[in-house]
Amino acid sequence: MAGAWLILPTYNEAENLERLVHAALPRLAEAAPEHRVLVVDDGSPDGTGQIADRLAAEHAEVEVLHRRAKEGLGRAYLAGFRHALDGGAELLLEMDSDFSHDPDDIPRLIRASDDADLVIGSRYVDGGGVENWPFHRRALSRGGSFYARMILGVPVRDLTGGFKCFRRATLERIDFANTHADGYGFQIELTYRAYRAGFRVKEIPIVFREREHGTSKMTARIALEAIWKVPALRFR
């Protein structure tokens, strides 16, 4: 499959970005002869944007989209989707920029898209899991997915997961530009829209690992947003 774009949203990921790009590029090349890495940086004050620019100068497959300020994960992905679609992307991958998602799993997501319109790297199907998370983080994540699944009636185990591969047609049909949530809520909304539109959604097991460097971007506001956004999606 040609035209696979990996979108990496960054804010203060100077300790992770270079290693991640170097790990991801060969995995992308393994599964997609035509591939790009798009770094979407929200004006990181720690120099992440400058590192991204250097990587783009060193690697023809790397591009950088600079945004002026931190506006949240959802807004960063929306900007990245638009840029990648304009660039001819046929597959668009979401992935955290802190090694929580294993770059070695990239080819598996791409291959799974052969018979799916949205592939989710899932922590909560057989073979998946989470490492190095405290109990409250596990409970929040599992509980959030269960809560959303029950209210929305979507047979997806990991609705809050952020390691995904979309087909171009899926994003174009679900009107992604009009999503409004961030963080957990953003991931739930995209998957829900794809399922409701009749697209084939497939989960494959992955192991999620807590970041070793930098700080988590998850906040109480993002978690609370997901709580009230889910019923709003169901009854909209």
Q: What is the pLDDT of residue 3?
A: 93
Q: What is the pLDDT of residue 132?
A: 83
H helical segments located in 87-182: 106-112, 135-152, 168-173
Calculate mean pLDDT across residues 36-62: 98
Please tell me the total count of domains within the chain: 1
What is the reported pLDDT for 183?
A: 75
Whole-angstrom CA distances from 48 to 10, 13, 163, 179 are 7, 6, 21, 27
CATH number of the domain at 48, please: 3.90.550.10
* Interval 122-164: pLDDT, tens: 999 999 999 988 887 788 788 888 899 999 999 999 999 999 9
Query: Is the per-residue pLDDT at 31 higher than 80?
Result: yes
Average pLDDT, the chain: 91
Residue 120 one-letter amino acid: I
**Domain of 225, in residue numbers:** 4-235
Closest by Cα among 192, 181, 179 to 152: 192
| pLDDT > 80? residue 11 | yes
Is 1's pLDDT higher than 50?
A: no
For residue 232, what pLDDT is reported? 79
Q: What is the pTM of this model?
A: 0.91
